[in-house]
Amino acid sequence: MTRMSAPETPQAAPRILSGMQPTSDSLHIGNYLGALVNWVKLQDDHDAFYFVADLHALTVPTDPEVLRERTRKTVAQFIAGGVDPQRSSLFCQSHVPEHAELGWVMNCLTGDGEARRMTQFKDKTAKGQSANVGLLTYPMLMAADILLYDTAFVPVGEDQRQHLEITRDLAGRFNTRFGEALVVPEPYIVKGSAKIMDLQDPTSKMSKTGSSPKGLIDLMQDPAKIAKNIRSAVTDTEAEIRYDVANKAGVSNLLIIHSTLSGQSIDELESSFVGRGYGDLKKEVADVVVAAIEPFQVRMAELLDDPAELDRILASGAERARGVAQSTMVRVRERVGLLPAAR
Ligand code: TYM
Q: What is the pLDDT of residue 4?
A: 46
Segment 32-77, tens digit of pLDDT: 999 999 999 999 999 999 999 999 999 999 999 999 999 999 999 9
Question: How far, in Å, is the centroid of ligand 1 from the Cα of 31?
Answer: 7
Examine the pLDDT at 119 and tell me if it is beyond 80. Answer: yes
Q: What is the pLDDT of residue 181?
A: 96
Question: How far, in Å, is the centroid of ligand 1 from the Cα of 277?
Answer: 33
Helix 307-336 with 98-107: angle, nearest 10 deg:
40
With contact defined as beta carbons under 8 Å apart, do 150 and 328 qualify? yes
Alpha-carbon separation of residue 165 from 4, 30, 70, 162, 290 (angstroms): 16, 21, 29, 5, 36
With contact defined as beta carbons under 8 Å apart, do 23 and 70 qualify? yes
Q: What is the pLDDT of residue 3?
A: 42
The full DSSP string for 253-320 is: HHHHHHHHHH---HHHHHHHTTT--HHHHHHHHHHHHHHHHHHHHHHHHHHHT-HHHHHHHHHHHHHH
Quick one: average pLDDT of 89-111? 98
Examine the pLDDT at 248 and tell me if it is beyond 50. Answer: yes
Percent of the chain with pLDDT over 70: 97
Write down the mean pLDDT value for the chain.
94
Q: Among the atoms of ligand 1, which is closest to the Cα of residue 196?
A: 13
With contact defined as beta carbons under 8 Å apart, do 98 and 328 qualify? yes
Expressed in angstroms, the distance from the first to the final Cα of the chain is 37
Q: What is the pLDDT of residue 10?
A: 52
Which amino acid is it at 210? Answer: G
Question: How far, in Å, is the centroid of ligand 1 from the Cα of 298?
Answer: 24
**For 253, phi and psi rounded to 5 degrees?**
-65, -45
Residue 210 pLDDT grade (very low, low, confident, very high; cuts 50, 70, 90): confident
Closest residue CA from atom 33 of ligand 1: 18
**256 CB-near residues (< 8 Å, 6+ apart):** 33, 192, 193, 196, 243, 266
Lowest mean pLDDT among 5-19, 230-244, 306-320: 5-19
Strand stretches in the chain, DSSP E: 15-20, 47-52, 89-92, 153-155, 186-188
Residues with CB under 6 A from ligand 1: 18-21, 30-31, 34-35, 53, 56, 142, 145-146, 154, 156-157, 159-160, 163, 194-196, 205-207
Q: Among the atoms of ligand 1, which is closest to the Cα of residue 159?
A: 20
Question: How far, in Å, is the centroid of ligand 1 from the Cα of 120?
Answer: 12
Q: What is the pLDDT of residue 129?
A: 72
Model-wide pTM > 0.85 = yes
Q: What is the pLDDT of residue 6?
A: 44
Segment 166-198, tens digit of pLDDT: 999 999 999 999 999 999 999 999 998 999 999
Closest residue CA from atom 1 of ligand 1: 20
Active-site residues, by number, are 124, 205, 208
Question: How far, in Å, is the centroid of ligand 1 from the Cα of 121?
Answer: 15
Closest residue CA from atom 7 of ligand 1: 31
Q: What is the DSSP letter of 227?
A: H
Quick one: average pLDDT of 202-222? 93
Coil, helix or strand at residue 125? helix
Q: What is the pLDDT of residue 123?
A: 85
CA dihedral for 116, 121, 125, 129, sign (positive or negative): negative
Examine the pLDDT at 5 and tell me if it is beyond 80. Answer: no
Closest residue CA from atom 16 of ligand 1: 30
From 17, 18, 20, 163, the mutation candidate for ligand 1 (largest count of ligand atoms within 8 A of CB) is 20
Residue 4 or 90, more confident? 90
